[in-house]
Amino acid sequence: MRQIITVAHVVWLEMIRRKDFYILFILLSALLIWLMIFDVFGLTTVSGYIKDLGLLAVWIMGWILALNTSIRQLPQEEQRGTLFPLLAKPISRLNIILGKWLGSWSITCLALLCFYITLWLGITIKEGRFDYATLCQGFLLHCAALAIVCAMGLALSTRMNRDAAATTAYVLTGTAFLMLPKIPSMLIHTQGVAGALLLGLYYLFPHFELFDIRHRLVHDWGCAPWLTVCEILLYAVLMTSVFLILAWLSYRNRRFTRENLT
C-alpha cells in the first residue's frame, strides 16, 4: 500500500506543477460569470440554467481532466526514461498501475471538488440553492464515474502511445455516455449482426449515464434512493477493477527498450 501511495504522490505533485487544472478552472469561472451576467428578460432570481450549464461544464471538464491525467502517466514515464529506474526498484507492475490510477483518480476528484465548490458559489451569489444531500450524492457518483474513466484511460495507455490512447479513450467514453442509453430504442429497428453487436456493446461498456444525476440537482427532485446509489457504486467498483485488471494483464509482461526514448 505504501508503494501505491508513493507512486500516487508523484502523480499529485506532477498535477500541481502542470497547468491543466488551472486552465479548466479559469474556463469554468469565465463560463459561470458569463451565465451570471446573462440578462434573462430582466429576471434576477432564475438560476436553473446556471446549474444546468455549469454542471454540464463540470462534467465535461472532469472527463477531460481524468482522461488526460490517467492517459499520460505510463507513456510519459516511458518517453522520459524514468520508467527504468522505477522498474528497477522493488515495486511490482501491479502496484505501479494501482498507484498511477489512485493518483490520477484522487487528484481528479480533488479538482472536481474545486469545480463543484465554484459552481455552488456561483449559484449562491445568484440567490439559487442546491439540495446539499443530492449535491453530495451527485459528487459521489461523479467521482465513481471518473474512477472508471481513469482506469479505462490507464488500460488503453499500457499498449498505445499517448495520442492514440487519448483519441481512443475520448471516443469510447463519449460514445458510451451518449449512445449506450439509446441502444434499447435502437434495437427496435436493428436486427441481425448489427443488433447483436449493439447488444454486446450495451452489456460490455460502462454505463456512465447511471452516474449522472444532474436533472435531480437542477430540477430539485431530491436524493435518489441510497440503496440504488450503493448498487451503482458497486457497479463502478466492478468496472474499475475490470479495467485495472486488463491494464495489469497488458502491462505485466511488457518489455521496454531504451531505443524508444525521445
Partner 1 sequence: MKTLSPTFQGLTLLITFWIFASSLACVLAASRPLQGSDDSLLDRLLGESRKTLSVTFYNQADVYFHKGVTHTQPTAFQDTLFQQWGNIITPRQHVHAEGPLSAEILPWLKLAAHADPHNVDAYLVASFWAETGLNRHDLATGILKEAQRLNPADYRIALEKARMEIRTAQYEAAMNSLDHASILLAQNPLDTESDMDKAEICTFSGFILEMKGLTEKAVVNYKNVLVIFPERFYIKERMAILEAGGKPVDSAQDLLKRLTRQTAHDACKDEDENHDNSKHINHNG
Output the nine-digit C-alpha cell for 163.
Answer: 495520442
Interface with partner 1 by CB under 8 A: which range of 1-9, 34-42, 91-99, 116-124? 34-42
Segment 50-89, which members bind partner 1 (CB under 8 A)?
64, 68, 72
Contact (CB, 8 A) for 123 and 47 = yes
Sequence-distant (≥ 6) Cβ neighbours of residue 219 within 8 angstroms: 48
Residue 27 in contact with partner 1, rule: CB under 8 A? yes
23 near partner 1 (CB under 8 A): yes
- Region binding partner 1 by CB under 8 A among candidate stretches 12-20, 96-104, 142-150, 248-256: 12-20
Interaction residues for partner 1, span 137-196 (CB under 8 A): 162-163, 166-167, 180-182, 184-185, 187-188
DSSP 210: G
Which residue do the cell numbers 495520442 mark?
Answer: 163
Nearer to partner 1, 93 or 209 (CB): 209
- CB environment 213-241: b (16+ within 10 A), e (fewer): bbebbbeeeebbeeeebeebbebbeebbe
Q: Which of 4, 7, 31, 66 binds partner 1 (CB under 8 A)?
A: 31
19 binds partner 1 (CB under 8 A): yes
Nearer residue to partner 1 within complex by CB, 221 or 256: 221
On whether the CB atoms of residues 4 and 97 are closer than 8 A, the answer is no
User: Least distance (Å) from partner 1 to the CB of residue 67?
Assistant: 9
> With 0-12 CB in 10 A as exposed, 13-18 as middle and 19+ as buried, what is 80?
exposed
Q: Which set of grid coordinates corresponds to residue 135?
A: 449535491
Which amino acid would we find at residue 155? A
Q: Which of 113, 221, 241, 252 binds partner 1 (CB under 8 A)?
A: 221
Task: Please count the residues of the chain.
Answer: 262
Interface residues toward partner 1, by CB under 8 A: 14, 17-20, 23-24, 27, 30-31, 34, 38-43, 45-46, 48-49, 64, 68, 72, 162-163, 166-167, 180-182, 184-185, 187-188, 202, 207, 209-210, 213, 215-216, 218-221, 224-225, 228, 231-232, 235
